Structure 1
Amino acid sequence: MLYRITLRIHGIVQGVFFRDSTRDYARGLGLVGFVKNCSDGTVEAVAEGPKDALENLRDWCKKGPELAAVVRVEEQWKNIDEKSVDTFEVVLS
């Protein structure tokens, strides 16, 4: 079964290589989706794949790369029938 998780990451998460690091980590897990900066200073990541890989990504996002200072991560889950994209990319905002 496939799932989609939407993560909103709060804290010092912009200007610290969070998006690029998230993309690389997600690709390493075989996930597809995107990550982007939001105008409110948060980062949003939307990923699709198996539940265990998505949980792994979520747990990584709770810490992020070395320069990040994550305060909290909001998450929303959805069951999906198939992946909507073929790769994981950084979306420029």
Structure 2
Amino acid sequence: MHDHDSSRPVRVTAWVRGRVQQVGFRWWTRARALEIGGLTGYTSNLGDGRVQVVAEGLRAECEQLLVALRGPDTPGQVSGVTEIWSATGEGYPDFVIR
């Protein structure tokens, strides 16, 4: 996908490692997604201590959310973020905490 259409929505799935549970991380992530605007998806705690973030929207908006997840203002302590990009799925009505 060399010349990807920047006006077509994409999905990014990110896994955030570190001390990111029980610190308000999911609420913070949802607030950032709503601030950026145009993003739908969800954020949820995983059993292994990571937080999963799934966001659909324009690539630039998804990139903004990734920058925030890797930024200095997150609650807790992020030791790493791994992401994969894919086509959008069935879609989400809004951005929620699961």
Question: Aligned partners of 1:67, 1:56: CA distance in 2, in Å?
Answer: 17
Which of the numbers 26, 40, 55 marks the counterpart of 1:47? Answer: 55
Q: Cα distance 1:22–1:51, how it changes in 2: closer, same or farther (>3 A)?
A: same
Question: Aligned partners of 1:61, 1:53: CA distance in 2, in Å?
Answer: 13
State the AA in 1 paired with 2:17.
H
Q: Which residue of 1 aligns with 2:30?
A: 23
| Range with greater deviation from structure 2 (8-17 or 55-64) | 55-64
User: C-alpha displacement at 1:63, in angstroms?
Assistant: 3.0
Task: Say what the alpha-carbon RMSD is for the aligned residues.
Answer: 1.6
Please tell me whether Structure 1 or Structure 2 has the larger radius of gyration of its CA atoms.
Answer: 2
User: C-alpha displacement at 1:67, in angstroms?
Assistant: 3.4
| Range with greater deviation from structure 2 (57-66 or 20-29) | 57-66
Identify the structure with the greater strand proportion: 1
Q: Alpha-carbon deviations, 1:5-64, whole Å to 9, x = none?
A: 000000010111100000111012221000000000000000000000000001111136
Q: Which residue of 2 aligns with 1:67?
A: 75
Q: Cα distance 1:54–1:5, how it changes in 2: closer, same or farther (>3 A)?
A: same
Count of residues paired in the alignment: 90
Runs ≥4 in structure 1, deviation > 6 angstroms?
none
Structure 2 segments unaligned to the other structure (5+ residues): 1-7
User: C-alpha displacement at 1:79, in angstroms?
Assistant: 2.6
8 Å Cα contact 2:12-2:55 kept in structure 1: yes
Question: What TM-score, normalized by structure 1, do the two folds share?
Answer: 0.88
State the AA in 2 paired with 1:41.
G
Structure 1 segments unaligned to the other structure (5+ residues): none
